[in-house]
Amino acid sequence: MTNNFLKVIVVFIIGFQFNVHGQNQYKIPQEVKRILFVGNSITYSGQYVSYIDAYLSLRYPERNFEIINVGLPSETVSGLSEPGHADGKFPRPDLHERLDRILASVKPDLVFACYGMNDGIYLPFDESRFQKYREGILWLTNKVVESGASIVHMTPPIYDDRKGEAYANVLDIYADWLISNRYTDQWEVIDLHWPMRKYLEDKRITNDNYVLANDGVHPNDTGHWIMAKQLLLYLGEEQVSKVNGMEEVVSQFTNGNEILKLVEERQRIMKDAWISSIGHKRPGMNVGLSLKEAKGKSEMLEKEIRNLLE
């Protein structure tokens, strides 16, 4: 057996053991006000971020959390890009290019990071690509900690193995390695990957055509709810354990659905403003409003939310 093969076997064993034991729990410190989400197109799409924002607004209105999403489509933390990406129009954006500006502009107290989906550049497992991912995650962790913020990593969502078993296997390995850092380096790591995989496998027992992502990559609303649910469970919100969707969550609060819609609107406005203000190298992004204009609209939406919470 080669050393690389042995590493793969070990990481799968570790992942199985950790999956059996389930999630840890993390309490957001009282001093945390500004929470940043970084990631790729799944985070930019933002349903799960809006679900978290709405839940915290409804459940803990007195905390006044500010949830900022600067996810950037196509981005990696590994710095890798496959030949001919986007039909040769541009290489994948690299978080290394903008992270310093993100941290300086946002000044977060807490960062949630979700990378991995793009970091193996959709090719079969390769040790050198895996090393680039590990190095990128370690660099990100150190940068955030040096800035004075705390960081919570999230394992990458699943890649549907029907779109390619080899790359689905890559993300299994990346997810397991990230989880292993809970124990080797006491990192805070939320497992999105294995709960999503189990949900998909369970659904396909009765519906062989069931999908969480039509393209195998980008989760639908159900997939985003599973992501949000795992994050909330990690935060100790056990009451969501048997909930089937965000609609069911907000229905338990007065004006919950109206508040969710306002939060989603606020997130749509603010993410483009923040991303454009910070700057990036990815073509084709929405420019959005200036950050000043966006903050003005956000304040108006916040007033509406507060009125509905009273």
Q: How far is CA 76 from its chain centroid? A: 13
Ramachandran area for residue 58 (φ above 0: left; ψ -120 to 50: alpha; else beta): alpha
Q: Is the pLDDT of residue 287 over 60?
A: yes
pLDDT digits (tens, 9 = 90+) for 136-192: 999 999 999 999 999 999 999 999 999 999 999 999 999 999 999 999 999 999 999
| Beta-strand pair 188-190/150-154 | parallel
DSSP state string for 37-69: EEESHHHHH-HHHHHHHHHHHHH-GGG--EEEE
Q: Is residue 197 part of a domain?
A: yes
Q: Is residue 83 part of a domain?
A: yes
CB–CB of 267/46 below 8 Å?
yes
pLDDT digits (tens, 9 = 90+) for 34-45: 999 999 999 999
Percent of the chain surpassing pLDDT 90:
92
pLDDT digits (tens, 9 = 90+) for 257-267: 999 999 999 99
CATH number at residue 198: 3.40.50.1110
Q: Is the pLDDT of residue 18 over 70?
A: no
Q: pLDDT grade, residue 25 (50/70/90)?
A: confident
Q: Is residue 200 part of a domain?
A: yes
Q: Is residue 266 part of a domain?
A: no
H/E stretch holding 292 reads: helix 291-309
| pLDDT at res. 24 | 72
User: CA geometry: angle at 193 spanning 234 and 230, to 5°?
Assistant: 25
Q: Please give the residue range of the domain that contains residue 64.
A: 27-245
CB–CB of 165/119 below 8 Å?
no
Q: Is residue 279 part of a domain?
A: no
pLDDT digits (tens, 9 = 90+) for 205-226: 999 999 999 999 999 999 999 9
- Residue 275 backbone phi and psi in degrees, to 5: -60, -45
Q: Is residue 275 part of a domain?
A: no
The single-letter code of the amino acid at 221 is D
Q: Per DSSP, which regions of the chain are E strands?
A: 34-39, 66-69, 110-114, 150-154, 188-190
